[in-house]
């Protein structure tokens, strides 16, 4: 059962890689996709098609869209009250979102049972909602509702009327959507994010008000940890968007069991590899691999390629090897094909033990000079690394996709190196830092 607008799904994606994610989505789903800052949205033909959306490698988290209210936060002083009554106002159609939620729960929710989604866990990546300043999960009902019947007489009367009216329609949502919500005793929580401008209310307050309304409307019970349904309220400027979270575990954490201080999100690694236009048979190099996130993602997403990863630090090399081992064990356990074609070595990027002109593509995440290395060291590391990468990369057809926050040192190094031609620079948000993704082509000049 779909609402008139179809089954709309929004996926949050790394900021700066939206076009790349939209391309992947239209390749897999074969239909048009819109990209906004930090997300992509598309309309599915049926709830079953969610299984295809679930395969997308560029999406961090995804949600079913319930509705979008463009001027909801105008008239700031009444926003909290209106959030309480919003579920009863007929402005939100939950049909498609709850169908998607049901389908996801019955067919795709096998990954994680630990409950709350969390985006921290030492993974370097953009904040989930671009520009979000404030995020809060609320228990919705409870104490706030007690305070509704207010101090002045008039307010007290209004409060009583409101309570009576609500009691009459309490559980209305449960009745309306009974065919979609077969099980009794559904638990939920509301998570609110805000951005765009300052608001006269906090995210916990907004989540609590909306949660109180939902608890009445659906007759759902609040449960902060591991609820059945997580309702998302995203406020941006005057706009309020409501959605239902689908995946529980953020998808950018895939592949990695052993996190390091600068572990890159798998979704960012995927976007970088896509920008390199990987071809079957390519030899792909990550010479500063840390825990191996880029090479592992590359090997899984492009199984007909071979990956070589290395790092100067023995602990990073051990971590990369351990990540590959864990993945192989996990795959064997699930009886999946156990191919992770990644070789891991310890080396210095300035002196690689590789033959000249043997690598097709270099995809790497350089030390930003913050958590890894130093800005001072980058002035000498970047030019040497670019020179050595030019040596091992094939002239004319070789490509490099390099990520750094230290644009000054990188631009200078690039200017002085005649072997690389800059094709494009994308600007990414990585762990809250503005970083440049340089897409380079190897010139035809031979290396002597
Ligand atoms: C930004 S981190 C890479 C993180 C990696 N993408 C991940 O997901 O774990 C940069 C890495 O470069 C390594 N590194 C620094 N200088 C190096 C050098 N001269 N040769 C090789 N690796 C080096 C550091 O040890 C660090 O692991």
In this model, does residue 63 exceed pLDDT 80? yes
Q: What is the pLDDT of residues 237-265, one digit of tens each?
A: 999 999 999 998 899 999 999 999 999 99
Q: What is the pLDDT of residues 143-174, one digit of tens each?
A: 332 222 222 223 322 333 344 344 456 677 87
Over residues 55-62, mean pLDDT: 96
Write the CATH number of the domain with boundaries 7-252: 3.30.2130.30
Strand ranges inside 45-196, DSSP E: 61-69, 132-138, 187-195
Question: Which of 262, 366, 404, 430 for a ligand 1 pocket mutation test, highest count of atoms within 8 Å of Cβ?
Answer: 262
User: What are the domain boundaries of the chain?
Assistant: 7-252, 254-442
Which residue, judged by its Cα, is nearest atom 27 of ligand 1? 290
C-alpha distance from residue 118 to each of 203, 356, 433 (Å): 17, 44, 19
Per-residue b or e along 417-430, where b marks 16 or more CB atoms closer than 10 Å to that residue's CB: bebbeeeeebebbb
Over residues 429-437, mean pLDDT: 95
In this model, does residue 329 exceed pLDDT 80? yes
C-alpha 118 to ligand 1 mean position (Å) = 25
Identify the CA nearest to 367 among candidates 442, 420, 313: 313
Distance CA 260, CA 230 (A): 29
* pLDDT classification of 336: cutoffs 50, 70, 90: low
Q: What is the pLDDT of residues 198-209, one digit of tens each?
A: 999 999 999 999
| Top-confidence residue, 108 or 246 | 246
Fold (CATH) for 254-442: Rossmann fold (3.40.50)
In this model, does residue 397 exceed pLDDT 80? yes
Minimum mean pLDDT range among 64-78, 110-124, 267-281, 309-323: 110-124
Which ligand 1 atom minimizes the distance to the CA of 262?
4
Q: What pLDDT does residue 335 have?
A: 62
C-alpha 441 to ligand 1 mean position (Å) = 22
Which ligand 1 atom minimizes the distance to the CA of 124?
8
Q: What is the pLDDT of residues 259-290, one digit of tens each?
A: 999 999 999 999 999 999 999 999 999 999 99
* pLDDT classification of 10: cutoffs 50, 70, 90: very high
Which ligand 1 atom minimizes the distance to the CA of 316?
27
Q: Are 219 and 172 in contact (CB under 8 A)?
A: no
Residue 33 buriedness (CB in 10 A; 0-12 / 13-18 / 19+):
buried
Within a 10 A sphere around the Cβ of 433, how many other Cβ atoms?
12
Q: What is the pLDDT of residues 367-381, one digit of tens each?
A: 998 888 899 999 999
Which residue, judged by its Cα, is nearest atom 1 of ligand 1? 367
Strand ranges inside 246-313, DSSP E: 283-286, 306-311
In this model, does residue 127 exceed pLDDT 50? no
| Top-confidence residue, 372 or 131 | 372
Task: Please tell me if the CB atom of residue 219 comes closer than 6 angstroms to any atom of ligand 1.
Answer: no
Q: What pLDDT does residue 94 have?
A: 93
Which ligand 1 atom minimizes the distance to the CA of 320?
9
Percent residues over pLDDT 70 in the chain: 84
User: pTM above 0.95?
Assistant: no
Task: Please tell me if the CB atom of residue 83 comes closer than 6 angstroms to any atom of ligand 1.
Answer: no
Distance CA 448, CA 11 (A): 47
């Amino acid at each position: 059962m779909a609402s008139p607008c179809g089954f709309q799904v929004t996926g949050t994606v790394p900021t700066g890689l939206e076009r790349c994610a939209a391309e992947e989505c239209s390749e897999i789903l074969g239909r048009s996709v819109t990209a906004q800052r930090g997300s992509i949205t598309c309309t599915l033909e049926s709830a079953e098609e969610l299984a295809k959306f679930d395969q997308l490698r560029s999406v961090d988290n995804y949600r079913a869209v319930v509705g979008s209210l463009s001027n909801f936060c105008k008239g700031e002083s009444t926003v909290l009250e209106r959030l309480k009554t919003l579920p009863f106002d007929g402005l939100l159609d939950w049909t498609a979102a709850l169908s998607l939620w049901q389908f996801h729960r019955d067919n795709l929710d096998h990954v994680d049972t630990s409950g709350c989604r969390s985006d921290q866990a030492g993974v370097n990546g953009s904040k989930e909602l671009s520009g979000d300043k404030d995020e809060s999960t609320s228990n919705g009902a409870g104490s706030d509702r007690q305070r509704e019947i207010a101090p002045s007489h008039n307010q007290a009367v209004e409060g009583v009327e409101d309570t009576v009216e609500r009691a009459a329609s309490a559980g209305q949502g449960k009745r309306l959507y009974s065919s979609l919500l077969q099980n009794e005793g559904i638990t939920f929580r509301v998570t609110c994010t805000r951005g765009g401008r300052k608001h006269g209310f906090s995210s916990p307050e907004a989540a609590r008000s909306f949660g109180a309304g939902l608890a009445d409307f659906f007759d759902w019970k609040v449960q902060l940890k591991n609820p059945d349904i997580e309702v998302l309220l995203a406020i941006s400027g005057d706009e309020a968007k409501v959605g239902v979270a689908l995946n529980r575990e953020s998808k950018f954490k895939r592949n990695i069991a052993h996190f390091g201080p600068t572990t890159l999100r798998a979704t960012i690694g995927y976007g970088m590899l896509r920008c390199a236009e990987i071809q079957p048979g390519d030899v792909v190099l990550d010479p500063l691999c840390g825990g191996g996130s880029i090479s592992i993602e590359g090997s899984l997403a492009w199984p007909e390629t071979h990956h070589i990863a290395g790092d100067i630090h023995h602990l990073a090399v051990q971590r990369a090897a351990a990540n590959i081992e864990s993945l192989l064990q996990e795959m064997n356990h699930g009886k999946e094909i156990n191919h992770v074609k990644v070789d891991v070595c310890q080396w210095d990027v300035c002196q690689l033990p590789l033959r000249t002109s043997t690598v097709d593509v270099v995809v790497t995440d350089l030390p930003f000079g913050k958590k890894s290395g130093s800005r001072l060291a980058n002035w000498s590391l970047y030019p040497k690394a670019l020179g050595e990468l030019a040596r091992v990369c094939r002239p004319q057809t070789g490509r490099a996709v390099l990520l750094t926050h230290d644009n000054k040192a990188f631009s200078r190094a690039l200017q002085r190196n005649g072997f690389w031609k800059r094709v494009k620079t994308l600007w990414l948000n990585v762990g809250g830092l503005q970083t440049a993704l340089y897409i380079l082509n190897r010139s035809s000049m031979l290396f002597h």
